Amino acid sequence: MTRPVDIHLTVVTPTHIVTDERVRKVIAEATNGSFALLPRHVDFVAPLTAGILAFEPVSGGERFLGIDEGFLVKAGERVRVATHHALSESSLERLQERVHEEFEVHTAHALAARSALDRLETSLIRRFVEMERLT
């Protein structure tokens, strides 16, 4: 039996499937460096760093995903990527713009959350001090 000449790539986040299609090649960046996967590549698992995942759909062209840290699993003809966040674009320039936009939103949310935690912590300390005075 001959093996397929393409790869079935699936990229998922906790909330949705980003891509699920046949591709010719996948290029990713692991914690120990970049690598390319072709259809008959050996099976393995790799921890991915935040960066760009590039792939060539069977239909042609090249597509790019901006991904957060995650894991890639290659088993047979299937390549599965699980990540916390991913953005899909057909051009690197547009992907860069979207990553910057998302980063600004994410940073604003993180700052708001940190500010709320700081207020809670301050309130808790004040209550401890007040309780200490009462005893």
What residue spans define the domains of the chain?
A: 7-90, 91-135
Query: Model confidence at 3, in pLDDT bands (50, 70, 90)?
Result: low
Number of neighbouring beta carbons within 10 Å of residue 110: 10
What pTM does this model have? Answer: 0.71
3-class SS string, 74-101: EECCEEEEEECCEEEECCHHHHHHHHHH
Q: Is the pLDDT of residue 103 over 70?
A: no
From the candidate CATH numbers 3.40.50.80, 1.10.1060.10, 2.60.15.10, 3.40.50.150, the one assigned to the domain spanning 7-90: 2.60.15.10
Q: Is the pLDDT of residue 70 over 80?
A: yes
